[in-house]
Amino acid sequence: MTKDQCRKLVIDIIADIAPDEDLTAVKPEVRLRDQLQLDSMDFLDIVMELRKRHGIEVPESDYMQLASLDSCAEYLTPKFQAKAS
């Protein structure tokens, strides 16, 4: 799992949760909340979909790590790698 793949995977989840958002031009370094209309219910769904689809647990104290696509990749990629190994 590369960071690029990880970003793609998070985008896939957002696309399913918020199909009414245009995700073609999401800037990876900018906070998701600042470029998309995502509320706390949507962020909770990202966390729950990560667990459902990939068995990845994100404790509440780490939710801020999911702020942007880059920070998601930074935080989640090692978790995916740990799972794969």
Partner 1 sequence: MKDSHYDVAIIGAGMSGLAAGIRLAHFGRKVCIFERHNAPGGLNSFYSIAGRKFDVGLHAMTNYVPPGVRGTPLGKLLRQLRIDREEFALCPQKRSRIAFRDCDLKFTNDFAVLDGEVTARFPSQADGWRALVQLVRTFDDVSLEAKPVAAREVVGRHLTDPLLTDMIFCPLMYYGSAQERDMEFGQFVIMFKALYLEGFARPLDGVRVIIRTLLEKFRQAGGERRMKCGVARIIEREGRAAALQLDDGSEVTADHVISSIGYPETMRACEPPHAAEAEANTGALSFCETISVYRQAPATWGWGDDTIIFFNDSDRFDYAQARELVDPRSGVICFPNNFDYAGGELAEGFFRVTCLANPGKWCALAEPDYQAAKAHWLGEMQRSARRFLPAVDDGVLARNLVTTDMFTPRTVRKFTGHLNGAIYGAPRKVRDGRTHLSNLYLCGTDQGFLGIIGAMLSGISMANYHILQKSAT
Binding site for partner 1 (CB under 8 A): 16-20, 37, 39, 41-42, 44-45, 47-48, 51-52, 59-60
DSSP H helices in 1-85: 3-17, 32-35, 40-54, 69-84
Considering the complex, state which of residue 44 and residue 82 has its C-beta at the smaller distance from partner 1: 44
State the Cα–Cα distance between residues 2 and 68, nearest whole angstrom: 16
Considering the complex, state which of residue 29 and residue 39 has its C-beta at the smaller distance from partner 1: 39
Considering the complex, state which of residue 67 and residue 70 has its C-beta at the smaller distance from partner 1: 67
Q: With H, G, I as helix, E, B as strand and everything else as coil, classify residue 68.
A: strand
